[in-house]
């Protein structure tokens, strides 16, 4: 019986500590490393992927490109940025979630892009 009481007290203490920790971090879900400014300059290094960043001050709305030199913050309204995203989305559309090729893999530009991506990844 005493063991159960000790266990219950320990669990209660852990619950209180966890609650305090959660309350202290609540609302602080901003990435420590985010784009605080976005460049309009075209990226020349190979791009391997991208993600969107919404505005959540101090972070600005931007497209974060993953390159061989690291992450680059680009202005989401730039024409070249929209074109690069369209290119990536088009390429993604030719693969299933398991990485299997879909029916359009025979197109020359798709094969070239796949080769480029494999070189960058490996």
Residue 17 lies in a domain: no
Residue 16 lies in a domain: no
Of residues 9 and 90, the one with the higher pLDDT is 90
Residue 97 has pLDDT above 90, yes or no: no
CATH no. for residue 54?
Answer: 2.40.50.40
Distances (CA, A) of 95 to 17, 79, 84, 89, 102: 46, 25, 18, 10, 5
Residue 46 lies in a domain: yes
Q: Supply the mean pLDDT for the chain.
A: 74
Residue 29 lies in a domain: no
Residue 64 lies in a domain: yes
Residue 8 lies in a domain: no
Taking the C-alpha atoms of residue 99 and residue 46, their distance in angstroms, rounded to an integer, is: 21
Domain total in the chain: 1
Q: Extract the runs of DSSP E, i.e. beta strands, from 1-122.
A: 47-53, 62-67, 70-74
Model confidence over 39-68: pLDDT tens digits? 999 999 888 888 999 999 999 999 999 998
Owning domain of residue 42: 36-121
Rounded to two decimals, the pTM is 0.53
**What pLDDT shows up at residue 23?**
47
């Amino acid at each position: 019986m005493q063991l159960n009481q000790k266990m219950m007290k320990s669990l209660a203490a852990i619950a209180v500590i966890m609650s305090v920790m959660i309350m202290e971090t609540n609302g602080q879900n901003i990435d420590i490393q985010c784009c605080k400014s976005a460049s309009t300059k075209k990226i020349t290094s190979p791009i391997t992927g991208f993600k969107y960043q919404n505005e959540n001050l101090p972070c600005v709305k931007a497209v974060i490109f993953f390159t061989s030199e690291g992450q680059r913050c680009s202005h989401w309204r730039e024409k070249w940025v929209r074109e690069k995203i369209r290119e990536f989305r088009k390429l993604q559309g030719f693969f299933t979630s398991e990485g299997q090729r879909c029916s359009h893999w025979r197109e020359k530009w798709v094969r070239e892009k796949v080769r480029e991506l494999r070189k960058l990844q490996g």
